[in-house]
Amino acid sequence: GGGRTPLIAGNWKMNLDHLQAVAFVQKLHWTLKDAAHEDGSVEVAVFPPFTDIRTVQTLLDADKIPFALGAQDLSTKDAGAYTGEVSGAFLAKLSARYVIIGHSERREYHHEGDEIVAEKVQAALRHGLVPVICVGETAADLEEFGAAAVPVGQLEKALDGVPADADIVVAYEPVWAIGSGQAATPQQAQDVCAKLREVIGQKLGADAAERTRVLYGGSVKSGNIASFMREPDVDGALVGGASLLVDEFAAIIRYQK
Ligand code: PEP
């Protein structure tokens, strides 16, 4: 909605090694040869595991494939004695444009709370990466507080100290909808995405609220993408499972047809 360029983002999670990644990206590009994303009317981004990023970057460059590249996480730190961590500086050098922050799987399995999420947002911005800030309520939250309260609170904290001109993306991902096959309704997604846009307005100002893309994520497929994209405050999708299937993901990118 709102004249913002839609963003279709594929979060591969821990799937596709670097060789499988090459085959997948080539096939997807081939499938999309004639599609709207080639004229820039829809932006496509892929989020491979860290070990694939260099390989995928080389392929995108060599074949002039117009997908943006993103990472699934980054360190709060820039360099140093932090075994196993990957810094935003390294990701920026590989031409990664985006980085997912605060995905519900990181919040749940790695105990990342709102403070870590806020630090990671700062780390991304320090290195010129666009944070894709994920927020969303669990099924228990939904029952206790309704849909919007938890994601609104999460986003308020993630945006602390973020400058008004920062380039960010927000993804509303109800935890109960992720990988469950049970997507939110377009109206539910619209309601929360509109509230998240209000938060952006309160924290960063009206220009940021107008400019920033707010995505929906959670069991998006080719059969429901168009209904989400019709909503005025939904500017794209963060896609997990369906982003690993060439024909499904291509059909999602071509949702207008
Ligand atoms: C996700 O994990 O970001 C996601 C939206 O997953 P799925 O599309 O599989 O529900």
11 is in an annotated binding site: yes
Mean pLDDT, consecutive 10-residue stretches, the chain (257 aa), reads 90 98 97 71 96 98 96 98 98 97 98 98 98 98 97 98 98 97 97 98 98 98 98 98 98 89
**Is residue 152 assigned to a domain?**
yes
Range of the domain at 109: 7-253
What pLDDT does 35 receive?
59
**Is residue 1 assigned to a domain?**
no
7 C-alpha to center of ligand 1: Å? 15
What pLDDT does 37 receive?
57
> What's the domain count of the chain?
1
What pLDDT does 36 receive?
53
Q: Catalytic annotation on 111?
A: no
241 is in an annotated binding site: yes
> Domain holding 71: CATH number?
3.20.20.70
Q: Is 162 within 8 Å of 168 (Cβ atoms)?
A: yes
Scanning 66-205, the segments in alpha helix (DSSP H) are 88-93, 104-109, 114-126, 139-145, 149-158, 186-204
Provide ipTM, 2 decimals.
0.97
Atom of ligand 1 at shortest distance to CA of 241?
A: 9
80 C-alpha to center of ligand 1: Å? 32
What pLDDT does 256 receive?
85
**Is residue 28 assigned to a domain?**
yes
76 C-alpha to center of ligand 1: Å? 24
**Is residue 139 assigned to a domain?**
yes
